[in-house]
Structure 1
């Protein structure tokens, strides 16, 4: 099918595609068969209505329109391949000519990947922090292990820092009880924090059956950030008895026979976690450096859709948590935006950087003919299942129902492309030492050294890694799949 391409601007083209009737005839015959199966005419069995009667009843134009519509996907794909363009969105297709018996013509306008020169990644240089695990880090993890396997003993004395108490909480304002600001039988370790300000100080010195009222600001629920008088009542005081740090403890909590071996393993796992964090930081910095060195236009409509997807995803997460942007910013330690306007501006910038990253990585994947093996795709399914708390079978079902397979395949390719860039870039730590980061997977972990906090002897979940410039955000069709 003959076609031509016209460059409308650096990020949009117009394809003109001819559909000769010799090529359309099989589609026309199929259209007649489909219509014949759907109608009943006296004297004819279903599916046996002649084309001339279909033309009389529905018009020849209806049949031709159906045939052209069925031919468009293949014709469009062939034109895209012929002219070697990389569409970034769905085309706007129009039937511009229809000469019965001769030719049909369609035009397709579509946003495309802009042209740019790929840099020499060997010239990309970034600096990251070195891996450092201190004795204090190891001691903290070991102490968490001891607390996890400690036992609670009820004591008849005033509560002290580190005790585990059973408490009732209530709040009032101007003497009136605040609805949804009351809880009973909650277990809390004094000094753990995370509750209303002043709670730890109020609990110290209270025995079972005693109460204390203090002024604070509520941290959750519909009355979040409102000042209130909080009353805490202690119903039980528990003293935690920690197990001795000896060989018996090592055998209880690990596969090792001695405490020295167990502690050495904790240190080794902490080093691995630090290396994973270092690899993630290197990945982000290398990608940011590459993107920062390139200047190309982005299709406005594609960028607008990505920004919208980012906004919808974040708004959904905030609504699910019952937070406004202002409340989120007040508690988020890793956000530097001072107000909602600045926060959304940063989100817009992140969306733009994400789109630029996607374009660069997709281009590299094509240039180097990066493929995806069955094993790599299966690994992605397992990773998504772990992240979402589902099973691989559920992820496959979700993928099939939402037609995510092409997007997820692209996600793997982008990860492999990023790994190639990182391998070629120059990465040093702040001590001037060269850092070798290899086998980087699409999720930013090292292929043979993926660890969790549980492996490191603690279950507090602080090993989560998040890309600073997500390359595929807003592309899944249902925000919340990736974030």
Structure 2
């Protein structure tokens, strides 16, 4: 077999392959055997039909076609290996010549990973938010805890903002009461925004037994999105009483004996959260600067497939779980379909660039992923997905997604190398030490930037037969 490689552009090549006919012998034998098992010829036992009879009855062309289809993947793979190509996706194959007894010639066009030169990233400098926990931050945190321990007491007065009212609701559309538009004994905190638009104005000022009618667009149910005439009756008004902020509250709401100890713990916890956010912000900004420095050509077919995959995962997994479709989602987001498509394309380009350059860094730095690192990453991904580690691991394995997780960890380690070399300062001008946070956040930063799938395990479990692998993967 002879093969030659022609570079069409930095991300696509054309292979030209010539195969001497004698190298098709195994595939020809397999073709005759397969046809033997499928057909019946009078006078011959099944499976014992001579090749010359098959040629006479069914045509030599049918045999050659079967043999070529069987042999092409093998010869294509040999040509790829001979050319030392890192291919992406499936090739477009064109049979140029097939001379019986002489020669098979074909071409195969396929996308390849571009050759990427890692830029000098030692001069990268980014600024991040300073870790500053104010007294107001601590007070807000304690107040949120205090809200959880609020009690309600019925009162005989008009309902006001912050009160908890018990209400009966009835919704009509075009004068007809909806089957799912009636609810009784619903508890609602005025001002929370958890029910229908207009409910706050309707019930404020009503005492127990008071009624009101208002118009609101329904947020769910059989008439979702339609304007309804809603009747509301208040059956009880209750005031919310917050516990006093004292040592007794601290003992009731936490493991601490004093309010000062509770506040000190809140300050420490908020500081840790802000440090984590700061590390994530630093990694995202360092990655953005790295991408600006690197020239990364994008294969057109890979980009097209990546965009399709992102839209598929959004529509069939994320939005489906929320009971939304794409038009409703765009309405909520206040975006046109054109704006959404452009945004998706930008994200896809960034994701592909991120993967290419960090994979190149993984190879250059000879970074490996051990079992402990992979297990820790899987545990974090399981937690964020809402699945148990065992369920998540099973879905990942069944969906063939283990290499994807390994890639995320390896790219995270590559990003950590770049972040370590960068200068990170906060808005106060202080140099930031990210060493303690890097291990926990780099893989997640890479995952968010690449965004190969927002629900990889769930998508894998649902789409094992999907063409997602072709859309995403590297040959």
Q: TM-score scaled by structure 2?
A: 0.78
Aligned to 1:6, the other structure's residue is in SS state strand
Instruction: Tell me how far apart the structure 1 counterparts of residues 215 and 30 of structure 2 sit (CA, whole Å).
Output: 78
Between 1:81-90 and 1:240-249, the stretch displaced more is 240-249
Q: Which residue is equivalent to 1:306?
A: 306
Matches within 5 A, 1:32-43: 32-39=32-39
Question: May I ask how many residue pairs the two structures share in their alignment?
Answer: 458
Q: CA deviation at 1:247?
A: 5.9
Aligned to 1:321, the other structure's residue is in SS state coil
Residue number among 358, 361, 373 corresponding to 1:361 in the alignment: 358
Change (3 A) 1:99 1:122: same
* Aligned 8 A contact 2:28 2:63 in 1: yes
Change (3 A) 1:76 1:210: same
Aligned to 2:450, the other structure's residue is in SS state coil
* Aligned 8 A contact 1:202 1:214 in 2: yes
Matches within 5 A, 1:341-352: 341-352=338-349
Q: CA deviation at 1:289?
A: 1.7
Unaligned runs of 5+ in 1: 331-336, 451-464
* Aligned 8 A contact 1:164 1:189 in 2: yes
Q: Which residue is equivalent to 1:117?
A: 117
Instruction: Tell me how far apart the structure 2 counterparts of residues 248 and 67 of structure 1 sit (CA, whole Å).
Output: 84
Q: CA deviation at 1:416?
A: 3.1
Change (3 A) 1:326 1:296: closer
Deviations 1:310-363 (A, max 9, x none): 444445556742553563135xxxxxx6x5544443333233222322332233
* Aligned 8 A contact 1:196 1:216 in 2: yes
Instruction: Tell me how far apart the structure 2 counterparts of residues 129 and 299 of structure 1 sit (CA, whole Å).
Output: 36
Q: Which residue is equivalent to 2:199?
A: 199
Instruction: Tell me how far apart the structure 1 counterparts of residues 28 and 435 of structure 2 sit (CA, whole Å).
Output: 55
Change (3 A) 1:40 1:276: farther
Q: CA deviation at 1:119?
A: 1.0
Matches within 5 A, 1:22-421: 23-39=23-39, 51-100=51-100, 103-171=103-171, 183-214=183-214, 230-243=230-243, 250=250, 254=254, 256=256, 259-314=259-314, 320-321=323-324, 324=328, 327-330=331-334, 341-399=338-396, 402-421=399-418
Aligned to 2:115, the other structure's residue is in SS state coil
* Aligned 8 A contact 1:284 1:468 in 2: no
Between 1:244-253 and 1:10-19, the stretch displaced more is 244-253
Instruction: Tell me how far apart the structure 2 counterparts of residues 311 and 347 of structure 1 sit (CA, whole Å).
Output: 8
Q: Which residue is equivalent to 1:423?
A: 420
Instruction: Tell me how far apart the structure 2 counterparts of residues 187 and 387 of structure 1 sit (CA, whole Å).
Output: 31
Instruction: Tell me how far apart the structure 1 counterparts of residues 172 and 28 of structure 2 sit (CA, whole Å).
Output: 76
Instruction: Tell me how far apart the structure 2 counterparts of residues 66 and 412 of structure 1 sit (CA, whole Å).
Output: 43
Deviations 1:51-72 (A, max 9, x none): 5555455445444444443443
Q: TM-score scaled by structure 1?
A: 0.77
Q: Which residue is equivalent to 2:17?
A: 17
Aligned to 1:428, the other structure's residue is in SS state strand
Instruction: Tell me how far apart the structure 1 counterparts of residues 110 and 50 of structure 2 sit (CA, whole Å).
Output: 39
* Aligned 8 A contact 1:20 1:104 in 2: yes
Q: CA deviation at 1:273?
A: 1.9
Instruction: Tell me how far apart the structure 2 counterparts of residues 390 and 180 of structure 1 sit (CA, whole Å).
Output: 31
Unaligned runs of 5+ in 2: 469-475
Are 1:4 and 2:4 matched, yes or no?
A: yes
Q: CA deviation at 1:109?
A: 0.3
Change (3 A) 1:396 1:62: farther
Between 1:94-103 and 1:262-271, the stretch displaced more is 94-103
Residue number among 407, 432, 436 corresponding to 1:435 in the alignment: 432
Q: Which residue is equivalent to 1:461?
A: none
Change (3 A) 1:419 1:36: farther
Are 1:445 and 2:425 matched, yes or no?
A: no
Q: CA deviation at 1:440?
A: 6.6
